[in-house]
């Protein structure tokens, strides 16, 4: 499996470099199928193609992919990603596209520029192109009802990728354990500040949450708050601004600029008098980037502020190495794509999907099958495959990110993503 992943990564790197010239979100006027055909054509003609083709053949001759390659060639997978403006989705899109292609499927990949109407149009387009299965990471889990109903009516299986979609036509959900992401952030704060031995010290904290339209965001928030609640209750932690509720701390579209603006306002209103800020709990890296910028430019204290994150975006890994961000919760999206591919194959091959998928697959990473935690509507559970997130700090970056091949180290010692 490791060999497969390494080969897949090699292919990703080549193909992504080739596709780099078209790295902006697919314009509304360009149909996803055109985008994909263009890329495919480029990939075949490009000079680096020999290496890519070789790697691709080897990868697909590996156990998992080999058995059904010839059958898969007639099938097309629609892959709908939310945006290229947040780094991680570029990596997700590249891994998914490459892994499905390496397994012999045709793919249509679109990015919807964080615009709901565009995502609806992109998916409608995929349906019109006759896709056999949809993999969708929603911009807004409540905004895709019509197109999900259309897919359901057409009998097209749907995998909600990373973010759940609130529509009962969704067959499966593949993600990381979102609540655990928050608990890891909370526990990191407890351990790093040694809150259990605070001896009456009060640490001042602020909170920046995720996009209220993203079903994951409340899970991240709740995991962290539940973990920190005892320390908020006994006064070891204090949110000086009083801005605690998810509704108040959320960040539309996970925007770095929105996070920056709010952090600047909070700093100006509550910390300009010299009050010490100790911690800023941020749900992910794009928001942490804005908060870090605000703290760097607008916070007068000379203590270092503990800032959390999630995703392992390159700019944040740089900040972690330089010390202006403390940690990130890393989700190996290469493995999330592996689960999605194996699940899609099982669905399309009419196999029994459930715990059996985990037992039959040769995954060298943790993943659980959960039929209770997520619902697409009240009382309608969505069977979920949940991978395990991991804490990355400056101390274990090499081991967690470079050794497995997800990132390389540049000449200055900073990390670069192997794809995306
Ligand atoms: C969430 C996702 C996070 C982060 C965020 C911003 O749904 O689970 O990993 O990427 O969106 O895109």
Tokens of 302: 């000379």
Check whether 42 has a pLDDT greater than 80.
no
pLDDT in tens, 9-19: 444 433 433 33
b/e for 49-68, b at 16 or more Cβ within 10 A? beebeebbebbbebebbeeb
Torsion angles phi and psi, residue 61, rounded to 5: -85, -5
Check whether 329 has a pLDDT greater than 60.
yes
Q: Where are the alpha helices (DSSP H) in 133-176?
A: 145-153
Check whether 3 has a pLDDT greater than 50.
no
Overall size of the chain counted in residues: 420
Check whether 36 has a pLDDT greater than 60.
no
Which residue spans within 201-320 are E strands per DSSP?
Answer: 203-208, 237-239, 279-282, 306-307
- Confidence (pLDDT) at 73: 76
How confident is residue 420, by pLDDT bands cut at 50, 70 and 90?
low
What is this structure's pTM?
A: 0.85
Domain ranges of the chain: 2-42+76-176+332-389, 178-310
Q: Which residues have CB under 6 Å of ligand 1?
A: 86, 88, 162-163, 214, 216, 254, 284, 286, 310-311, 331
> Into which CATH architecture does domain 2-42+76-176+332-389 fall?
3-Layer(aba) Sandwich (3.40)
Check whether 6 has a pLDDT greater than 90.
no
Residues of the chain above pLDDT 90, percent:
81
Written out in words, the top-level CATH class of the domain with range 178-310 is alpha beta
Check whether 60 has a pLDDT greater than 60.
no
- Confidence (pLDDT) at 72: 79
Q: Which of 324, 325, 292, 79 is nearest to 188 (CA)?
A: 325
Check whether 360 has a pLDDT greater than 80.
yes
User: What's the CA-to-centroid distance between 145 and ligand 1, angstroms?
Assistant: 21
pLDDT in tens, 118-142: 999 999 999 999 999 999 999 999 9
Nearest CA to ligand 1 atom 6: 254
Sign of the CA dihedral with 169 first, then 175, 177, and 179 last: negative
User: What's the CA-to-centroid distance between 57 and ligand 1, angstroms?
Assistant: 32
Average pLDDT, stretch 183-202?
A: 98
- Confidence (pLDDT) at 189: 98
Are both 2-42+76-176+332-389 and 178-310 of the same fold? yes
Q: Are 223 and 179 in contact (CB under 8 A)?
A: yes
């Amino acid at each position: 499996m490791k060999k497969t992943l390494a080969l897949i990564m090699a292919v990703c790197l080549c193909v992504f470099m080739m596709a780099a010239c078209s790295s902006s979100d697919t314009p509304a006027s360009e149909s996803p199928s055109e985008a994909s055909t263009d890329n495919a054509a480029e990939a075949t003609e490009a000079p680096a193609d020999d290496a890519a083709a070789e790697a691709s053949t080897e990868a697909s001759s590996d156990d998992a992919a080999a058995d059904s390659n010839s059958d898969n060639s007639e099938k097309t997978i629609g892959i709908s990603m939310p945006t290229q403006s947040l780094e991680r989705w570029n990596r997700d899109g590249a891994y998914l596209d490459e892994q499905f292609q390496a397994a012999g499927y045709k793919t249509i990949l679109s990015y919807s520029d964080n615009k709901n109407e565009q995502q609806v149009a992109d998916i409608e387009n995929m349906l019109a192109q006759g896709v056999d299965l949809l993999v969708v990471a929603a911009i807004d889990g409540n905004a895709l009802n019509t197109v999900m109903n259309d897919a359901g009516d057409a009998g097209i299986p749907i995998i909600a990728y990373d973010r759940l979609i609130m529509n009962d036509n969704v067959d499966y959900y593949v993600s990381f354990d979102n609540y655990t992401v928050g608990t890891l952030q909370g526990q990191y704060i407890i351990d790093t500040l040694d809150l259990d031995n605070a001896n009456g010290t009060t640490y001042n904290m602020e909170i920046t949450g995720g996009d209220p339209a993203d079903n994951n965001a409340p899970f991240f928030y709740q995991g962290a708050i539940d973990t920190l609640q005892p320390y908020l209750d006994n006064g070891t932690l204090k949110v000086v601004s009083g801005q605690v509720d998810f509704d108040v701390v959320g960040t539309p579209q996970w925007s770095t600029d929105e996070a920056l603006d709010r952090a600047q306002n909070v700093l100006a209103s509550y910390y300009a008098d010299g009050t010490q800020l100790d911690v800023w709990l941020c749900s992910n890296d794009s928001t942490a980037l804005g908060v870090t910028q605000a703290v760097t430019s607008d916070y007068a204290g000379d203590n270092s502020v503990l800032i959390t994150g999630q995703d392992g975006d390159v700019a944040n890994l740089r900040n972690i190495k330089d010390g202006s961000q403390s940690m990130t919760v890393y989700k190996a999206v290469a493995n999330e794509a592996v689960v999605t591919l194996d699940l899609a194959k099982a669905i399309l091959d009419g196999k029994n999907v459930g715990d059996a998928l985990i037992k039959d697959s040769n995954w060298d990473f943790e993943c659980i099958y959960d039929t209770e935690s997520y619902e697409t509507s009240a009382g309608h559970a969505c069977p979920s495959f949940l991978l395990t997130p991991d804490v990355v700090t400056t101390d274990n970056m090499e081991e967690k990110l470079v050794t497995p091949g997800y990132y390389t180290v540049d000449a200055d010692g900073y990390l670069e993503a192997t794809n995306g």
